[in-house]
Structure 1
Amino acid sequence: MTPARLRWGTLLVTVGLLLLLRNMGVFNDDIWIALLVYSPLVLIAIGLEKIFTRTRVQIVSYLTSAFLLFGGLGIAFYSGSGGYQSSFFTESSHTTRYEPGLRTLQAEIALDGTNLTIRDSGDDLVYAEFDRFTRKAVITELFEGNTAKIALESKPLAFFGGALKMDIEEDLDWRVWFNEKTPLDLVLTGSESDMHLNLSTTPLKHLNLNTDDATIYLKIGELEPFVRIVVDGRDSRFKLRIPQSVGLRVRGSEYRSYLERLGLIGDDDTFQSDGYDSMKTQIEVDLDERLSSLSIDYF
């Protein structure tokens, strides 16, 4: 058997296996994009085969066929595992049921360029929807006593290099709802994301935003007595809306003139509303001095 005959036979076997496993639901359609991106490896393998054919180390020519088989399957397992729900081309959702007795929800969302919308709270501990043509989330959950820890991390698309992002009529990528009763400690990370965060009906205790070059709209209610917000984001645009009945304290010397125009009183670094210490709900905000724009208003 010549190396060329073995190579073509191996390619047919590989494609047949991938089609079979895809139809069985083991892989999703992400494998075809990944294989297309890595198709130059086939040319490299054929080139090595031709170089070593009819030489003393002709065994290398035969080994390139094994490389094609196991390399193709390896790429498919890495990029397309998880079934149709995790495919780039499909819509999907996730639900974590509420468990009585929980006192704290610690959530972390790593967007990596994906857009996020939070518009309301709900009965479930966490409910999330993911649009098609977006990276799906790798979700991990851990329950320790009366604390739930949940992480949603944008699925790695190392084969795509982040180049695949399709514009459709619906601008939203991820939509998330948190429980309406469980106090929330939320961390958001990413870059170049649009975030519409209406947390006015969610008992938010702490929010850490680590997002560069992002557009952030944040609305907070008065369900918790003390709320702490940390904004760390170079060139991000941050808009905050809060109830008129809350006390506001802001740290950020770069925004002194703007904060004074809002009626906040303070020194070079910390500014607060009149009667802050006596308010039923107090909101404390730490601002990155590198923000592109800042807006604070009341409702």
Structure 2
Amino acid sequence: MAARWGQLAVLLVIAAGSGSGWELSALPCSLYHFCECDFRPEVSALDCALARTVFGQHLARELLVKAVKRFVETELPSKPLVLSFHGWSGTGKTFVSSLLVKHLYRDGSRSPYVHHFSPILHFPHVQSIEQYKEDLKLWIQGNLSACGRSIFVFEEMDKMHPGLIDVIVPFLGPSWVVFGSNYRKAIFLFISNAGGEDISQVALEFWRNRKDREEIQLCDVESAISKAVLNNPKHGFWKSQIIRQHLIDVMVPFLPLRPCHVSQCVRSEMEQQGSEPQEDVVRSVTESLVYFPEEEKVFSSTGCKTVASRINYFL
């Protein structure tokens, strides 16, 4: 009994220091390795949602579903699941992350165990980086003590202050242990535009060589992505131990979108807005986007990012 009260005291201190809004009701959950909080993974439903609403991203769908399925079916994982999404803006990275959260937690993005970090919102001042490191470490430690099945989403990693993210390196490996916690059941997701140019170049070469887009595999782009983020002094992963120690389980590349994929986005968006897709509007929106290279016009420069606003304009 004395040991149990001592454990509760430790958790209370961690929670108080984290400033996470952690509640006493979460205490019992942190004391047992079998507690899953509101973690309700539906991997088959995730796969269906990706197939139905995400266009032109066969590789992202395949890699993500395989990694998540293997992770959630492992009763005692050896380490947290660490994912990194890469690709140009508008290719679906943020949307896919929202689908992932929706199909992992009963309450989706409203779950108290889903945590988002934005460098512009949470870490805006470079002169405060040491304080940010301390706050981030305490936040993650406190929330993992509350629920080992937490997910941490770091958006816009290409705008993160270099050196900041390495404070979480100990949480990502197999050896980090705190009494009363199971950090190895957590998920960490990094989202970045870095590597987008390299991914697009590979996709363009496949197109020029008349190879099927679906033939592109991770091995075709993984090395280029790693170099792009590790050697960019303005990227959050610059010289990061997360890359050097190979702590990322899967780098998920998002390919640039062809005009046909943009048209699919337009139809899907019109349906979500409650209107019947009109082919003249679909064509007008698709043709209004900028495509590259300038001579060949193979890929959309902005993906599907501006589709919603353009639909309203043409309607």
TM-score when normalising by structure 1:
0.26
Using CA pairs under 8 Å that are at least 6 residues apart, name the structure with larger relative contact order, 1 or 2.
2
Judging by fraction of residues, say which structure has more helix. 2
TM-score by length of 2: 0.25
Over alpha carbons, which structure has the higher Rg? 1
